[in-house]
Amino acid sequence: MRHKTWIKRGKAGVQALFIACLIFVYPPSTALSASATSKGKTKAAQKADAGEKKTASGLESGQSETPERSKNKTATPRKRSRSARAESSPITDVTSSTTGTLPVLIDKLIANAGASRWGVKVDVAETGEIIYEKNPSHLFVPASNRKLFTGALALDLLGPNFQYHTYLFRTGKVDASGVLNGNLVIKPQGDPTFSNTIVRNAPTDWIFRDWVTKVQAEGIKSVAGELVVDCSDWNMMDLTPKGWPTRIKSDYYAPQSSPLTLNENIIEIRVKPSAAGQPGIIEFIPPAEGYPIVNKTVTGAGKGGISVNRKADGHIEVTGAPSTRSTGQTYAVPCDNPTLFAAAVLRHHLHQAGIEIRGAVRILTTKSSSSAPRPENIIAVYISPSMAEIVKTMMKHSNNHFAEQLYISLSAIKSQAGGYRTSKQLENEFLARAGINTRELNFEDGCGLSLLNQVSPHHICQLLNYMMRHAAWPTFFDSLPVAGRDGTLRGRMRNDNIAQKVHAKTGLVNQVSALSGYLTLNQGRTLVFSFLVNDVHSSTGAVKSAEDHLCEILSLLSL
């Protein structure tokens, strides 16, 4: 079983019994993609396919049509509009192309797509021959084409078989009366899968529910100390990316990164009315004990309307007037302190099971010799799917949470100093090995939401060519969306002459569209290409259609 919680103790049959029960109660999904919601409740798994857009108005063509989380500035949650999944129409007036005719055809397509700034590079992987270039060395905002670098970096530094381990262990001993004279400690590695996305129809907090049973199996009835999250391998002051527009920071597709995650770092809040004139009732989903929130609601005051926002100083504030006739409404917003929230959820479950935590929930940021998981003190450990599966989920569905967690966790694992600054250093070393001049480009996040990211088509083609020679090449290639088949390209390029010949990463944010990857020709040759389009003043649909038609013309190329 790939996704499991491992038990340290040698208690006869306990591990086998747990795994058997887990298979029965929470059967693992065949992929990391999300399952359907229950009764309209929004889950973090549903947003995996929505990472491309900076607005909540719709999805990129080819993504799953799943309900959107509540829009925080309205009282009633809005649904994501269904994306138009129209097939790209065939190019009827072109039946073949050569290196001689190709430039005229491409120039015409780009001109017809509307006033935008294009960067294009196409070369032959086997020979290095450049087939077409347009502004190849100019810098562009790459949107989610940024994830090509994040995925390649993760596979290079940790390898396709790497698995995250999140430990629960104790300090001190358990006395005869069941008192743990010490702390319960969580030691996280930044695992992006620590949520309900890997198990179909399971509660968001299913791992914590299971951990409570492991604590009980240790004979622990109360904890004299604290519930500690050991974040000593992280720079907690360097977990905020640069260049994310302020307007997106309360949107579900821009979650904050953290050492310990839950529900992909989206906090769901249910707001219900109380007595008229009194503050509304706020509940966390799942319940979290002791997590701070600012409640400025007043029941029945005015015409109603609720707003849930993450403020500039990081705290979450709920304002508005829940109607006395309302039965309650659920809202979602990126969590301001995901690690603390996850620990608060575990504390709630422990108390529900009658296990008292006498101390506080504490985030440990300094190294401590007593705070280390050892065979004799480990209670349980959650082991993630392989890095190959995680990168595939990130790429296929353009999952921003996975991308950011991968990026910052690399430095925590490799350098015990998790954060953007150290990860950037590690990435620059990787890019130098790939022959890419790091002084010519810039990255400030892992997913592509930052407007400060700058890269050229030439740099992307360099990376794509390098990965074809990398030991992780099969995994990297397999992670990319496939035209007309899956991921964010499922609804694009579905014509017979191009479908499944393109393996590429999409990118879409405000006034930016991108598509970069590989195209397999009938002759068995492989084209490496990068289309970066900025300053889109026409419709993004027109630009995406032009990108698809570019691929179609390239597929007809005779070399």
pLDDT digits over 358-394, tens only? 999 999 998 876 668 999 999 999 999 999 999 999 9
**Is residue 60 very low, low, confident or very high in pLDDT (cuts 50, 70, 90)?**
very low
CB burial of residue 433 (10 Å; 0-12, 13-18, 19+): exposed
Q: Report the candidate in 392, 390, 395 with the shortest Cα–Cα distance to residue 148.
A: 395
**Coil, strand, or helix at residue 133?**
strand
What whole-number distance in Å separates Cα of residue 532 and Cα of residue 460? 10
pLDDT of 144 above 90: yes
- Give per-residue pLDDT as tens, 269-281: 999 999 999 999 9
Distances (CA, A) of 389 to 86, 312, 355, 392, 394: 29, 35, 36, 5, 9
- Strands 306-310, 316-320: parallel, antiparallel or unpaired by DSSP? antiparallel
pLDDT of residue 197: 64
Give residue 161's Cα distance to chain centre: 19
| Mean pLDDT for the stretch of residues 13-34 | 36
Q: How confident is the model at residue 80 (pLDDT cuts 50, 70, 90)?
A: very low
Q: Compute, in degrees rounded to 10, the torsion defined by CA atoms 488, 489, 492, 497.
A: 180
Mean pLDDT on 395-400: 96
Look at strands 266-272 and 222-223 and give their pairing.
Answer: unpaired
Higher model confidence: residue 353 or residue 24?
353
Where do we find the tokens 């990108």?
547
Which has more confidence, 20 or 110? 110
Residue 384's region, left for phi above 0, alpha for psi from -120 to 50, else beta, is beta
pLDDT digits 0-9 by tens, 191-222: 999 976 666 678 889 999 999 999 999 999 99
Q: How confident is the model at residue 24 (pLDDT cuts 50, 70, 90)?
A: very low
**pLDDT band with cut points at 50, 70 and 90 for residue 47:** very low
Tokens of 98: 């050569």
